[in-house]
Structure 1
Amino acid sequence: MTFSFPRRGRTLAHGQRAELTIIDTVTAGTKIVLTADEVIEAPNWTPDGRFLVFNAGGKLFRMAADGSGTPAEINTAPLADLNNDHVLAPDGTTIYVSSDDGHLYAVPFEGGTPRRVSNTHRTPFHYYLHGISPDGTTLSYVAIEGKGAERRINVFTIPAAGGPDTRLTDMDMPNDGPEYSPDGRWIYFNTERAASRPGHAQIFRMNGQDGTELEQLTFDRQVNWFPHLSPNGKTVAFLSFPHGTLGHPADKDVQLRLMAPDGSGQKTLTSFFGGQGTINVNSWAPDSRLLAYVAYPKG
């Protein structure tokens, strides 16, 4: 059965579909749990393993992780312009979201009035959420600072309850996808800081408190984005785009890859047509074996 969702922003090509898929990282076996005729993106798994949360048409939805039943909208009113950057609190009671107004909000998992977390800045400063600390107290995000030729994309943290922004990177080359390790020591992220050509992002990690202890983990020709740590801390999943890709666009032949936290043991788990929206947020199941992602096949 193919479901319809609100249409907003990017649309699928004629004959294209969105497939919310679960893959077993041990056997590489897959199961499509939802097919949609509009763009759906960025699945999260709830900490209890019962639900998948994803966005579509500027709104959030949840569905049973086994694919049973039908998706249900999570009430975030008056927000109706959410993007594909959202994370769940470790206790599963709160969803933190990014809105196209440039701010971060906290919303009860059952739905309810959003609480703004982010700050107002004198100069352009647009928040994009990516991670939450294991104790649930701190959010990691990237900010687009400034505009035009002075536009910069750097990594910051902010208390989940609201408070001051803490800068972890300060550079002109773009950074994205900052996410905590389960022990809270590291923030993993992708960056062009070592790139010899524009767009050639690789995976790094740094101290999650102050941005020190910087380590590069991938060194290949592919463009690597969105590192996600398994709950047990033993595996990193990330998305690889073809050489020469700029940013993380939609509609590309991509690979879902795995590696150890120190960058060793890299391997390709599966390949498919995807990109933007596939795994923008952490989509590991609580068992650290299953992963959810969205593919966008044509025809």
Structure 2
Amino acid sequence: MTKFLAIILLSCFCQVAFAQSEAVGIFQNHGDIGKPKKAGASSYDATTQTYSIKGGGDNIWFNRDEFHYLYNKIKGDFILTANFEFVGAKGNGHRKIGWMIRESADEAAASINAVVHGDGLTVMQWRPLRGAYMRDPQDEIFYAKKTVFQVVQLERNGKKVIMRVANWGEPLQEVGSHDMPDLPDAVLAGLFISSHDPEVTEEARVWNVRIDKPVPSNYHPNPQIQKTLATNQGIMGCRLETMTVLDGKRKVIRESTGRFEAPNWMPDGKKLLFNEGGSLHTIPVTGGTPEKLNTGTVSRNNNDHGISFNKKLLAISSSREGSTGGGSAVYVLPLSGGTPKLVTEQTPSYWHGWAPNSKEVTIVGQRNGSKIYNLYRADINTGKEVPLTQNTSGHVDGPEYSPDGKYIYYNANPTGTMQVWRMKPDGSGKEQITFDENHNWFPHISPDGKWIAYISFPTDIDPNAHPSYQRVTLRLMPTSGGTSKVIAYLYGGQGTINVNSWSPDSKSISFVSNSEIAEK
């Protein structure tokens, strides 16, 4: 009997190991938990970067669970975000999809789950210890609305786990949080589905799947400074993404364990331009090997660069060797590469926009010893500057022309909250465009002139700053006025969308999100 039992256990172990041996997208493991009567399955469409997850199972409840699980083993803190959608309108009202954090693949394991049911019931539920019973309502937090939320986020922050939800276009709303002190540092985390009916297999589509690992508060975005810190926390990785703005579907086209920033969409619509390591590079929008752009001896380029309206010139910002004032200067060169021509004698100067005549640029700079940044218009041939703002306090940034040349859009915080503004090209007629509690930066106007895309920082940052590694959103609003909507939820900030990254057809944008610290 003992030998027979050992053979059975070995057979079961092998079946589980085989079921979890093939990676699916970013997930290294997948399989059924709790031996549901109907087997589940997972697949990944690399073209659309969409997951299909199928599963049966009696329930995820009481002291054991039955479901299909697609997961990784992750240590420490992390943020899980994705869009979910059931396939098929019919099904048990209590079929479940969402994110799950679990101590093991044991059917009775301790876990905490962000759950959206087929009938719209939205809850955060948990089993505090292995084999313990989930109790209703003691071990659940219910969300007030009853709607099938599309965006689901689950964040682990120390011992606390936080659930947030939204329908696409809306800000994330917190369902609740709960401490899970007995979960180990290394846990299983991933997507799940359960049919709530042993005789049925349910299916869901999941897209915009992101696993982000936030950094400590003392993390520094400069790799050289970061290496000198006593904690030596490593360098934060990046993703280069594209997104169709009308449905929010995103694609990762490049990932790196290093830092790169601020894509521009090239005029042919086939490539992106971005900065990394002081140089500029192009890459196909479908992904591939980056190619370095020739910028001559100007080799300390930062994330402020962009393409002229006539599609012939490139403006760049780079630390200037030998400058008495220090900091960044603005240059122009042929878009195909070549020898840059200096535009700004005074530093620091950061490029942010081209005039439609392709003969002038808008810049952000400090002048005459002032520590306050102001906005200027500069002639690329003569270097002559015209001041557009005369701030004595606060901060202004991101000046960018509308394609018709009627306005310069920018961000400013005269009231203490950073908001989007616009003015006439001569600096007159300043008017505020956004009005909310967020800190809104870097308005970018679509080539057809119909849309403004911008980045929103949380309320707890310095309104003069746009730091890296924050929980930020990208937002879209009509240039004609109206309510903005959220088009992307991500971990990012400085370098995400500092410059205009609209596609030539005004249907997509590109941006950079942060992922996790590279292994040391």
Deviation string 1:155-199 (CA, Å, 9 cap, x unpaired) is 10011223310000001221000000010110000011222xxxx
Q: CA RMSD in A?
A: 1.8
Deviation readout 1:54-96 (Å, 9 max, x if unpaired): 00011100111222x3100011121111111001122332211
Contact persistence 1:8–1:57 (CA under 8 A): no
CA separation in 2, counterparts of 1:14 and 1:30? 27
State the one-letter code of the partner of 2:468: A
Decide which structure has the larger Cα Rg and report it. 2
Alignment-derived partner of residue 296 in structure 1 = 514
* Identical amino acids, percent of aligned pairs: 37
Paired with 1:11 and 1:62, the residues of 2 have a C-alpha distance of 27
In the alignment, does 2:462 pair up with 1:240? no
Equivalent of residue 289 in structure 2, options 70, 73, 76 = 70
1:170 match: 390
TM-score, normalised with respect to structure 1: 0.89
Report the CA distance shift for 1:154/1:15 in structure 2 as closer, same or farther (over 3 A): closer
User: Which moved further from structure 2: 262-271 or 214-223?
Assistant: 262-271
Query: Partner amino acid for 1:81?
Result: R
Match of 2:345 in 1: 119
Out of 4, 8, 28, the position equivalent to 2:248 is 28
Question: Counterpart in 2 of 1:107?
Answer: 333
Q: What count of residue pairs does the alignment treat as equivalent?
A: 281
Given candidates 327, 352, 363, the residue that maps to 1:141 is 363
Q: Distance in 2 between matches of 1:128 and 1:241?
A: 21
Structure of greater relative contact order (alpha carbons < 8 Å, 6+ residues apart): 1
Query: Cα distance, 1:146 vs. partner?
Result: 4.8
Q: Which runs of 4+ in 1 moved over 6 A?
A: none
Which of these residues, 154, 160, 166, is aligned with residue 374 of structure 2?
Answer: 154
The structural deviation recorded for 1:52 is: 0.4
Matches within 5 A, 1:176-215: 176-195=397-416, 200-208=417-425, 210-215=426-431
Letter in 1 for 2:471: D
Assess if the C-alpha contact under 8 Å between 2:450 and 2:480 holds in 1. no
**2-side partners of 1:163 and 1:58: how far apart?**
24
CA contact 1:107–1:113 (8 Å) conserved in 2: yes
1:190 is aligned with what amino acid? Answer: N
Between 223-232 and 56-65, report the one with greater CA deviation.
Answer: 56-65
CA distance in 1, matches of 2:502, 2:477: 14
Q: Kindly provide the amino acid, as one letter, of the partner of residue 40 in structure 1.
A: F
Q: Distance in 2 between matches of 1:129 and 1:223?
A: 21
The whole-number CA distance in structure 2 between the counterparts of 1:270 and 1:245 is 19
Aligned position for 1:216: 432
Query: 1:51 Cα deviation (Å)?
Result: 1.4
How far the C-alpha of 1:287 sits from its partner, in A, is: 0.8
Instruction: Tell me how far apart the structure 1 counterparts of residues 223 and 277 of structure 2 sit (CA, whole Å).
Output: 5
What is the identity, as a one-letter code, of the residue corresponding to 2:248? A
Greater CA deviation, 88-97 or 58-67? Answer: 88-97
Distance change >3 Å, CA 10–CA 181, structure 1 → 2: farther
Matched residue type, 2:341 = R
SS in 1 for 2:348: strand
* Aligned mate of 1:43, from 263, 283, 302: 263
- SS of corresponding position for 1:257: strand
Contact 1:75 1:111 in 2 (8 A): yes
Partner of 1:268: 486
Q: Give the unaligned 5+ runs of structure 1.
A: 1-6
Please give the residue correspondences for 1:66-105 in structure 2 after superposition, counting only pairs within 5 Å.
66-67=286-287, 69-101=288-320, 102-105=328-331
The Cα of 1:107 is off from its aligned counterpart by 2.0
Alpha carbons 2:469, 2:514 under 8 Å: kept: yes
Counterpart residue type for residue 206 of structure 1: M
Instruction: Give the match for residue 47 of structure 2.
Output: none
Distance change in 2, residues 1:241/1:206 (3 Å): same
Residue of 446, 458, 462 corresponding to 1:230: 446
In 2: Cα distance, 1:84 partner to 1:220 partner: 27
Alignment partners' CA distance in 1, 2:305 and 2:340: 13
